[in-house]
Each structure stands twice: as structure tokens, then as C-alpha cells.
């Protein structure tokens, strides 16, 4: 009997594929964001609002991750250059997209034609925080009806986010969501995070979010030249 030292990160295989995805996206100058939230927080609505605002400025593709169904892909397909639906139900990871699912999806997208890739992750606040996909920015949406305690219950996803979007602002008169307390909790974990307060229903705040996104796309493409 002997002992063999290994010391290898178990997520290394996923991270290596995520790195390949990122290099492929950079090669074609495609900026990508990984959109994460609990089910029903407004990932698809944010994508639709973003596409509507930016349709004259850039070409976008969408990867839709869901356990089952093509409902979200149907909703966005007329507004994007291309859409790939991933159903995770029969895959080794059903509660989150993982890097090799994105690797397969990228093979079915016209990367030379697009500027932006929006990846809608499976609705879940735990598993997606573990798996890098190759995205440039990680975006987490919290909506008012979910309550302001989510950063305390699910710290890791907020700690790893580049941007946190507070959605369904139109419901503020009807729900007890303490926005300053929510922002303090997120900021405590993640001082460099950007906040956006929006309503996909009324369109409030979408302009500011889209300006940020355009700036990030521009900054990234300048970095790649």
C-alpha cells in the first residue's frame, strides 16, 4: 500500500474547457455574458430588452440553458442572429450549464457574424456559481419578489458577479425589499460589483444597463487589438 500525492482541483477540467471557449470567443471578437438568477427573476426578459435596445448597434446570439423545453429559445429567436437551446435534463450536470456544453454550442453559432453572446444559465443560485463557461462577465439578477436576503443565503454567486441587476422595480410599492440593505450585503462580499436597478416591464434602467454593456464590449475589443 502506498500513498500518491495528487493535489488537483476537481474543477480543473471544466476550467480548462472554459479557457478554450474564451480564446475562441476572443479570436472572433465576441463578447459574452453569463446571466444567472433564480427561476423567474427575469433572465429572458432582460435578454429581450437588451436585444431590443441594441439591435441597430450590434449582432447578438443567445445560448439558452434550461432543464427542459424550448420556451425561452422560442421567445428570443426572432430577435437574435442565432439561438442555441441546451436542455440539461439528460446531461451530467442538469442544474447548471458547464463549459463543455458551451463548447458544443459555439460550434453551432456563426461566431464571425456576431459581436455579443448572451448565455442564459439554468435558473439556480447555487450550481452556476461553480462552473466557469468562458464568459467575459458574470451577471446576476435578483428580482424584488424574491426578497432581499438572497446575498446572505447564496453568497457565492454574488461574490463572483461582475454586475448585479435588481429587476421588477415596478413592484417596489407592493413588496418589502430593502434595496439599500441588499446592496450593502452584496457590496460587503464583492466591493467591485456594478449595480443596476431596472424594470423589464416598464423599461426603467434598461438604457443604463445597455450603456454599461456597450462600454464593456468596446473595452474588451480594444484590449484584443
Partner 1 sequence: MHELSITQSIVDVISKKSQEGQVSRITQVNLVIGELSGFVPDCIKFYFDFLSKDTIAEGAVLNFQLIPARLRCRDCSTIFSPQGRDWTCPECHSLSLEIIGGRELYIESMEVE
Q: Give the three cell numbers for residue 178.
A: 430593502
Piece in contact with partner 1 (CB under 8 A), picked from 49-57, 138-146, 185-193, 213-221: 185-193
For 182, which DSSP code? H
Site string for partner 1, 200-219 (x = CB under 8 A): --------------------
Name which position in 26, 29, 103, 130 contacts partner 1 (CB under 8 A). Answer: 130
CA–centroid distance for 197 within its chain? 16
Polymer length of the chain = 225
50 vs 96, which CB is nearer to partner 1? 96
Least distance (Å) from partner 1 to the CB of residue 35? Answer: 19
Does 192 engage in binding with partner 1 (CB under 8 A)?
Answer: no
Among 179, 100, 98, CA closest to 143 = 179
Give the binding range for partner 1 (CB under 8 A) out of 40-48, 122-130, 162-170, 203-211: 122-130
Strand partners, 101: none
Residue from the set 27, 57, 107, 153 that interacts with partner 1 by CB under 8 A? 153
Longest dimension (CA), the chain: 67
On whether the CB atoms of residues 123 and 40 are closer than 8 A, the answer is: yes
State yes or no: residue 155 binds partner 1 (CB under 8 A): yes
**Cell 428580482 appears where?**
143
In the list 92, 176, 192, 225, the residue contacting partner 1 (rule: CB under 8 A) is 92
Q: What is the DSSP letter of 1?
A: -
Sign, CA torsion 111/193/47/39? positive
Contact pattern from residue 27 through residue 66 relative to partner 1, giving x for each residue in contact according to CB under 8 A and a dash for the rest: ----------------------------------------
Piece of the chain touching partner 1 by CB under 8 A; list 9-17, 32-40, 45-53, 215-223:
9-17
For residue 92, count CB atoms less than 10 angstroms from its CB and return exposed for 0-12, middle for 13-18, buried for 19 or more. Answer: exposed
Using CB under 8 A, list all residues that contact partner 1: 1-14, 92-96, 98, 126-127, 129-130, 152-153, 155-156, 159, 184-185, 187-189, 191
Amino acid at each position: 500500500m502506498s500513498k500518491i500525492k495528487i493535489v488537483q482541483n476537481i474543477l480543473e477540467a471544466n476550467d480548462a474547457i472554459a479557457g478554450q471557449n474564451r480564446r475562441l470567443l476572443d479570436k472572433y471578437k465576441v463578447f459574452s455574458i453569463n446571466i444567472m438568477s433564480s427561476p423567474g427573476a427575469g433572465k429572458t426578459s432582460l435578454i429581450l430588452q437588451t436585444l431590443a435596445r441594441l439591435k441597430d448597434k450590434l449582432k447578438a446570439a443567445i445560448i439558452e440553458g434550461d432543464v427542459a423545453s424550448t420556451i425561452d429559445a422560442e421567445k428570443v429567436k426572432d430577435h437574435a442572429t442565432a439561438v442555441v437551446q441546451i436542455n440539461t435534463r439528460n446531461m451530467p450536470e442538469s442544474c447548471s450549464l458547464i463549459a463543455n456544453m458551451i463548447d458544443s454550442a459555439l460550434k453551432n453559432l456563426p461566431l464571425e457574424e456576431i459581436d455579443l453572446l448572451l448565455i442564459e444559465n439554468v435558473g439556480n443560485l447555487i450550481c452556476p456559481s461553480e462552473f466557469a463557461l468562458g464568459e467575459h462577465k458574470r451577471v446576476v439578477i435578483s428580482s424584488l419578489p424574491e426578497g432581499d436576503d438572497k446575498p446572505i443565503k447564496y453568497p457565492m454567486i454574488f461574490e463572483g458577479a461582475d454586475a448585479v441587476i435588481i429587476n421588477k422595480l415596478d413592484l417596489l410599492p407592493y413588496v418589502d425589499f430593502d434595496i439599500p440593505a441588499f446592496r450593502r450585503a452584496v457590496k460587503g462580499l464583492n466591493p467591485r460589483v456594478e449595480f443596476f436597478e431596472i424594470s423589464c416591464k416598464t423599461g426603467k434602467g434598461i438604457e443604463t444597463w445597455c450603456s454599461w454593456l456597450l462600454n464593456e464590449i468596446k473595452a474588451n475589443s480594444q484590449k484584443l487589438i
